[in-house]
């Protein structure tokens, strides 16, 4: 089975390549051959890859910048995503599309299910929701996987940012009033491979649609940061104290959902796969950094003392903004 994943250098593409088995070939397709902002490039690039399944993971992920670049965000996340799904349909194969918890407004008292009403707070979430709709319209054989707070040993993400900052300071201030599910891209890759095998083996598969796919359990950003840094210290890596702050203490251009927890019960029921608890998966990634600093690089520096994850490659890069580039 051959999977073509869009986004050559993203966390999900790298994780799929690492997790692929002998019976699975993963082909990462990205710019300049495939550029979601240039819809005319999509079909030809995927046709050359000759996939059995297309994994649509590339996206515009700059949450705050999207407020000023609405047209580009929608071109990539809506029109581009739809073109990927359309190309998969023309090739006669299913598409697995990655989306986000930011399609919700975060006001629900409890974890979001797939049937809950969407209400994105900003351009990024709105563009991703439009992408879901475009994917569903273009290819009836679609799995739309909403995930959240993605991190991995690859690329820029919250785990890497915290470890970098801990090497440069004794205390880090992190938002404590936003709750969600930290999700390892390695786990996302495992889930995609599991689902892809089901699609390959079950020619009569009929449960296409939207699924939530997130790490087990929940926490807030400061709790996530503490676990990262405590684990790092246990492995002899950098450590810093974490100070809780409120979202209001670090205002951003784009509003974030305060409670974007996702229930992954439907995915588990249909595919028989459940993500590990987030603490275990995060510890695995932190241990890899501690063992060899793979991809960690020099400490990241920033000017702002109060830290809220944000969509630029700086001290406050969000996991969401690093999902895939």
**Residue 319 pLDDT > 70:** no
Whole-number Å distance between alpha carbons of 28 and 172: 36
Indicate if the pLDDT at residue 301 is higher than 80: no
Q: What span, in angstroms and rounded, lies between the C-alpha atoms of 324 and 132?
A: 16
Gyration radius of the chain's alpha carbons: 19
Domains contained in the chain, CATH given: 2-155+182-218+260-278 (3.40.50.720)
Residue 236 scores a pLDDT above 60: yes
Length of the chain: 325
Which one-letter DSSP state was computed for residue 93?
Answer: -
Per the prediction, the chain carries an average pLDDT of 89
Residues 269-295 have pLDDT tens digits of 999 999 999 999 999 999 999 887 544
Q: What is the mean pLDDT of residues 68-86?
A: 97
Are 59 and 128 in contact by the 8 Å Cβ rule? The answer is yes
Query: What sections of 202-274 are H helices per DSSP?
Result: 221-234, 265-271
- Model pLDDT, residue 293: 52
Give the model's pLDDT for residue 177: 95
- Grade residue 323 by pLDDT with cuts at 50, 70 and 90: very low
Strand positions, DSSP E, the chain = 2-6, 25-29, 53-56, 95-100, 142-147, 150-151, 171-175, 179-180, 183-184, 209-212, 219-220, 241-245, 306-307
CA 311 to chain centre: 13
Distance CA 217, CA 187 (A): 14
Q: How many CA atoms lie within 13 A of 278 on its CB side?
A: 27
**Residue 171 bridge partners (DSSP):** 241
Tens digit of pLDDT for each residue in 89-130?
A: 999 999 999 999 999 999 999 999 999 999 999 999 999 999
Catalytic (active site) residue 124: yes
Give which of 127, 166, 144, 168 is closest to 290, Cα–Cα: 166
pLDDT of 299 > 80? The answer is no
| Closest residue by Cα to residue 140 from 76, 206, 66 | 206
Residues forming a β-bridge with 211: 145
Instruction: Tell me if 192 sits within 8 A of 96, measured CB to CB.
Output: yes
Q: Rounded distance, CA 178 to CA 162, Å?
A: 17
Could you say which DSSP state residue 238 is in? -
In this prediction, residue 113 carries a pLDDT of 98
Predicted confidence band of residue 314 (pLDDT cuts 50, 70, 90): very low
Annotated catalytic residue, options 124, 151, 211, 250 = 124
Q: What pLDDT score does 298 carry? A: 36
Between residues 297 and 180, which one has the greater pLDDT?
180
- 179-180 and 219-220: which strand pairing? antiparallel
pLDDT tens figures, 11-29: 999 999 999 988 999 999 9
**How far, in Å, are 161, 187, 320 from residue 313 at the CA level?**
9, 23, 12
């Amino acid at each position: 089975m051959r999977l073509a994943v869009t986004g050559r250098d993203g966390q999900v593409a790298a994780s799929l390549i690492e997790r692929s088995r002998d019976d699975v070939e993963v082909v990462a397709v990205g710019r300049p051959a495939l550029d979601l902002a240039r819809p005319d490039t999509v079909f030809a690039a995927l046709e050359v890859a000759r996939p059995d399944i297309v994994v649509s993971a590339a996206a515009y992920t700059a949450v705050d910048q999207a407020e000023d670049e609405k047209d580009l965000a929608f071109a990539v996340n809506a029109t581009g995503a739809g073109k990927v799904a359309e190309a998969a349909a023309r090739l006669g194969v299913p598409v697995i599309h990655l989306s986000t918890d930011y399609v919700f407004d975060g006001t629900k008292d409890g974890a979001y299910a797939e049937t809950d009403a969407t209400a994105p707070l900003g351009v990024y979430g709105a563009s991703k929701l439009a992408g879901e709709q475009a994917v569903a319209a273009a290819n009836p054989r679609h799995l739309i996987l909403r995930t959240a707070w993605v991190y991995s040993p690859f690329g820029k993400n919250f785990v890497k940012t915290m470890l970098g900052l801990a090497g440069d300071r004794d205390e880090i201030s992190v938002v404590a009033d936003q709750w969600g599910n930290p999700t390892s891209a390695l786990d996302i890759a495992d889930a995609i491979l599991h689902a892809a095998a089901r699609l390959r083996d079950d020619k009569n598969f009929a449960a296409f649609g939207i699924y939530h796919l997130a790490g087990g359990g929940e926490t807030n950003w400061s709790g996530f940061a503490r676990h990262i840094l405590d684990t790092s210290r246990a492995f002899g890596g950098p450590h810093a104290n974490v100070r809780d702050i409120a979202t209001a203490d670090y205002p951003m251009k784009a509003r974030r959902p305060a409670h974007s927890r996702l229930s992954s019960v439907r995915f588990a029921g249909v595919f028989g796969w459940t993500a590990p608890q987030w603490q275990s998966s995060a510890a695995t990634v932190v241990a890899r950094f501690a063992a060899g600093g793979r991809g960690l690089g020099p400490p990241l520096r920033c000017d702002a003392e109060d830290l809220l994850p944000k969509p630029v490659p700086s001290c406050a890069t969000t996991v969401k903004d690093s999902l895939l580039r």
